Structure 1
């Protein structure tokens, strides 16, 4: 294959931009096509071509527009870079692939179901004998609350079963505060607090269609508002191997990220994100270009050998970009722009 045409959806997200920038660094001959709902998102201006699309919840309109773009641009591979689009592509993956011949890099519904519900994540870990923090549902397990507090102690983490980042996440320091925070709420989990002393870690794994792990790297991360703002790559191979074991049972396809802390020196996973993450660009800088690895393994059929990340620290700093106003106006008017030959 002389040229690979790649579609990155939800390209304005932090990890959408990271995927595009990673692919622009690739030695492969690529044409990058980006989609988003807003003309003022960077991914649309970094890619070779940009398209405005309806939001994914307008499923019929979104489906037709995506099919038109895939066919019109002769897309070979689709990367999903918006959490709002994951369910759509997971549910329509086989249909889109059959209709267009493009590969859609998204996790299957079974994996999505486990990972997008924090209670089901804990159930999966428990049933497969992996470490997990003590967790109960609220309000369904209200009768177990006293026993849970007795065993977990304080503080207690309160978070929605479904959600991302630090939205609606709380830390209760006492029984009174806990009851105040959960009063009137539904669809939450209460979770044992894992100590911060040894830091927090993220392991990024990319897996091929056969479940084989193509790349895996662990970073120790420093968070702000649920986002990785700096990270360190070091000798964390034992932690990476642990997450490889979990992935071997979960069998994700494409990108997957495991978030965990250490308790008595052992990793306790508390969240699995079935997508590219905010640290995708960091891993690329350290020598692990996940998007390129997936293209080489799945599209080109190359034998991809495991790569070790460069040791070092990454500091994230936001950067301002200037784009032609005319290009934004064109996207607003025509829902399409060409940024450069591809």
Structure 2
């Protein structure tokens, strides 16, 4: 069995990168853990034993510097986390290897569909999945029904998501860049909002875990593991139709017991550490699958278990 890997996580400064670092530090697969971010003004430097500041992907020397780092440190596995970097690698068709290191990302179709909120809606419609009506903001002269959700077509996170209650609000938020926004039907959360980890191996094995969650400052601040056969069936169908290999995050709400997907994040999500603690070890499975190993399985019945997002302080 291949163990003792030199693993590099890029864009490690955010909450997802920090969570991956905590998992990898305790993994038997990790020999030496490296992290790179564009800034050292984050807590990743206290988590990653070998932390360094790197270039933005927009820098013309970015790829050369990254390949040099991989060579000099004999990196075996690279895990890019920041969505702008993932977009760059996807556009450059660098999803298999970089230098001598193996890449761990979701597969190309999942990246293409998930990166663009309008393409997500088109894909869901074409494949017959329930989804909220979604339109390009630039195509709308007026809106008849409120509220609606306005979100960046290409953005990630919650900072560019707004609940709109009037045309005045719509005009305000789109005043500088209406081309980058989509308008989405508002789905009530009275039946709950769910964030789901979805993993599919290169051999087609599908695993999923469902959290019923509550948001805190745009993040999943509280959640409970639930069992819902309808959602599980929907996730399994999605994994096949999106040609998934790897791990993604699917967000949905229930309308009259019908799960409606409103977002596909084609990467590890902010709940990756909580899932790992509950036996859904999609980061580890991704490494094992990439190395051609049999998937480990520490899953157990955790329905009803709850997570709470906390904070940790660091000084130096």
TM over 0.5: yes
Say whether residues 1:171 and 2:172 are aligned partners. no
> Structure 1 residues 134, 64: CA separation in 2 closer, same or farther (over 3 Å shift)?
same
| Match in the other structure for 1:329 | none
Unaligned ranges ≥5, structure 1: 324-342
Say whether residues 1:161 and 2:153 are aligned partners. yes
**TM-score, with normalisation over the residues of structure 2?**
0.89
| Match in the other structure for 2:259 | 267
Q: RMSD over aligned Cα, in angstroms?
A: 2.4
Alignment of 1:11-26 (within 5 A): 11-26=12-27
1:156 touches 1:178 (CA, 8 Å); kept in 2? no
Which secondary structure state, in structure 2, belongs to the residue aligned with residue 318 of structure 1? coil
Shift of the alpha carbon at 1:321?
1.9
1:10 touches 1:36 (CA, 8 Å); kept in 2? yes
Which secondary structure state, in structure 1, belongs to the residue aligned with residue 65 of structure 2? helix
| Match in the other structure for 1:215 | 207
Shift of the alpha carbon at 1:110?
3.7
Q: Which has the larger radius of gyration?
A: 1
Separation in 1, partners of 2:179, 2:188: 26
Unaligned ranges ≥5, structure 2: none
| Match in the other structure for 2:288 | 296
| Match in the other structure for 2:90 | 90
Shift of the alpha carbon at 1:260?
0.7
| Match in the other structure for 2:249 | 257
Separation in 1, partners of 2:315, 2:50: 17
Say whether residues 1:226 and 2:218 are aligned partners. yes
CA deviation map 1:3-49 (0-9, x unaligned): 11111111111000101111123243432111112223322332231
1:218 touches 1:237 (CA, 8 Å); kept in 2? no
Separation in 2, partners of 1:176, 1:12: 36
Higher helix share: 1
| Match in the other structure for 1:196 | 189
Separation in 2, partners of 1:167, 1:28: 35
Which secondary structure state, in structure 1, belongs to the residue aligned with residue 18 of structure 2? helix
> Structure 1 residues 183, 283: CA separation in 2 closer, same or farther (over 3 Å shift)?
same
Which secondary structure state, in structure 2, belongs to the residue aligned with residue 221 of structure 1? strand
Separation in 2, partners of 1:215, 1:170: 32
